[in-house]
Amino acid sequence: MRRLISAFLCLFFLPLTSAVHSATLIPAVPKVQAKGYLLIDFHSGQVLAEKNADMRLEPASLTKILSAYVVDYELAQGNIHLDDEVVISKKAWRMPGSRMFVEVGKKVSVEDLLKGVIIQSGNDATVALAEHVAGSEEAFASLMNQHAAKLGMTNSHFVNATGLPHKEHYTTARDLATLAQALIRDFPGNYALHGEKEFTFNGIKQYNRNKLLWRNKYVDGIKTGHTEAAGYCLVASMARDGMRLISVVLGARSEEARTAETQKLLTYGFRFFETHRLYAANEPLTTARIWKGETEELPLGLAEDLYITIPRGQYKKLKANMSIDKRIIAPVHAGQAFGTVNVSLDGTQYAQRDLVSLTEVAEGGLFGNLVDEVRLMFE
């Protein structure tokens, strides 16, 4: 059995701020001219708009988001370093499509190659990095698929590092949003490169193809893509006033269209929704009675910060309650779940998270255990 703590008591912990008292009217999602799209909040993961989000589509150069993620991971692990010098192979030099213009046999640093991948979308730079990390592009693609699986990209498969067309090379808008979240969350330092507007290498200046970097000062990434089969694609991220949204647009009809449709989605999200952090991780939300332990009180909280994204002006209408296990018996380990926190708005559940033990509690002494055993008989 579990006991319920009322919404009033639970909401005591909500960081109440000033809010608009009148409700904001939410219009229908704007029509987006693309094969598939998705708009989510970065912190809460709440989906704000979607169409064909799970349809398998060609990602074109959006593939390089995952390639950059794998390189960032290898850098973080110390397996490679930014100042490593990479000898450019004939395969990398001969790559078709967008290029950084590296020269065969020359040495180029990992740092410059990473900029070439992210800012210039260079296929040559991408293959050079793939070979440096894994020995071959094929082996690198295997790493890409392993990382994709760990991130929960359940509907994706990659056969190359660049996004050149292949019938077995595909992803979805939802998987790309998951990847974008991971990129920003796991490697915030290197993520800044995705907001760089230009890069000069070998005397050639090239510009980032993400036009939103010039048109919207709050947009700081992430990547464009285009092939004839994939159409024009763009994964973008925009942060303003403590809120960050991620949009994915796949299969737009033109370079200008992918920019306009992405801006349309971002404007909709920021205009009509707001994100709040309700509870911080590892901070006590309540205490529970623990039996047969060294102490009688067990602090309970959340393992991760709890964010929710709701329509603007609705914050004061949130309702929350905690359901806690009635009988908690020592020993208890930190991180064990003993209940849930539930947050709802107008009868719709927005979040449910486990209430976990924030400390360890060892088993108490013999006398105390006997006393608690007797007490439990009358509970």
For 51, half-sphere exposure in the C-beta direction (CA atoms, 13 angstrom radius) is: 16
* CATH no. of 2-19+278-377: 2.60.410.10
- B/e letters for 165-199, b = 16+ CB within 10 Å, e = fewer, are eeeebbbbbbbbbbbbbbbbeebeebbebbbbeeb
The Cβ of residue 88 has, within 10 Å, a number of other Cβ atoms equal to: 22
**264 with 254: CB under 8 angstroms?**
no
Q: How confident is the model at residue 330 (pLDDT cuts 50, 70, 90)?
A: confident
When pLDDT is cut at 50, 70 and 90, the band that residue 18 belongs to is very low
Average pLDDT over every residue of 237-252: 97
pLDDT of residue 9: 40
| Mean per-residue pLDDT, 212-216 | 98
Interior CA angle at 211 toward 240 and 147, to 5°?
75
Task: Give the separation between CA 200 and CA 215, rounded to whole angstroms.
Answer: 22
Predicted local confidence at residue 21, as pLDDT: 42
Cβ-Cβ contacts under 8 Å for 200 (sequence gap 6 or more) = 206
| Helix and strand totals (H; E) in the chain | 11, 18
CB atoms within 10 A of CB 327: 13
Query: Is 264 assigned a catalytic role?
Result: no
| Residue owning tokens 């994709």 | 148
Query: What pLDDT, in 10s, does the model give residues 101-129?
Result: 999 999 999 999 999 999 999 999 999 99
pTM, entire model: 0.90
Q: Pairing mode, if any, of strands 47-51 and 36-41?
A: antiparallel
- Active site residue: 35, 44, 61, 357, which one? 61
Rounded distance between C-alpha atoms, residue 103 and residue 204, angstroms: 13
The per-residue pLDDT for 16 is 35
State the average pLDDT for the chain. Answer: 92
Average pLDDT over residues 148-170: 98
Of 1-15, 196-210, 256-270, 282-296, minimum mean pLDDT range: 1-15
pLDDT given for residue 340 in this prediction = 97
Q: What DSSP character marks residue 197?
A: -
Question: What local confidence, expressed as pLDDT, does residue 374 receive?
Answer: 57
The DSSP bridge partners found for residue 209 are none
Local confidence band at 363 (pLDDT 50, 70, 90 cut-offs) = confident
pLDDT of residue 13 exceeding 90? no
Q: pLDDT digit string (tens) for 161-172?
A: 999 999 999 999
35 counts as catalytic: no
Secondary structure letter of residue 62 according to DSSP: G
The predicted pLDDT at position 291 comes to 77
Least confident of 107-111, 212-216, 291-295, 327-331: 291-295
DSSP notation for 105-136: T-EEEHHHHHHHHHTS--HHHHHHHHHHHHSS
The number of angstroms, rounded, from the C-alpha of 309 to the middle of its chain's C-alpha atoms is 15
**1 has a pLDDT exceeding 90:** no
Q: For position 15, what pLDDT does the model report?
A: 42
Q: Is the per-residue pLDDT at 8 higher than 70?
A: no
Q: Which amino acid, one-letter code, is at 112?
A: D
In a 3-state reduction of DSSP, which class is residue 376? helix
Q: Determine the Cα–Cα distance for residues 302 and 341; give it in Å rounded to an integer.
A: 9
Lowest pLDDT segment from 142-156, 175-189, 267-281, 322-336: 322-336
Q: 36-252 has which CATH code?
A: 3.40.710.10
Write down the H helix ranges in the chain: 7-11, 63-76, 90-93, 110-118, 123-134, 137-151, 173-186, 188-191, 212-215, 255-272, 366-377
pLDDT score of 2 more than 70: no
* pLDDT at residue 367, rounded to an integer: 60
Q: Which pLDDT score is estimated for 80?
A: 98
pLDDT band at 341 (very low <50, low <70, confident <90, very high): very high
d(CA 154, CA 145) in angstroms, rounded, equals 10
Is 61 an active-site residue?
yes
Catalytic residue from among 35, 44, 64, 67: 64
Contact assessment for residue 226 and residue 232, using Cβ atoms and an 8 Å cutoff: yes
Rounded Cα distance between 205 and 197, Å, is 11
Q: Where are the domains of the chain?
A: 2-19+278-377, 36-252
- Order across the sheet with 337-345: list the strands: 2-5, 318-325, 337-345, 348-357, 297-301, 286-291, 328-329
Q: Choosing from 67, 121, 247, 357, which is the catalytic residue?
A: 121
pLDDT tens by residue, 44-84: 999 999 999 999 999 999 999 999 999 999 999 999 999 99
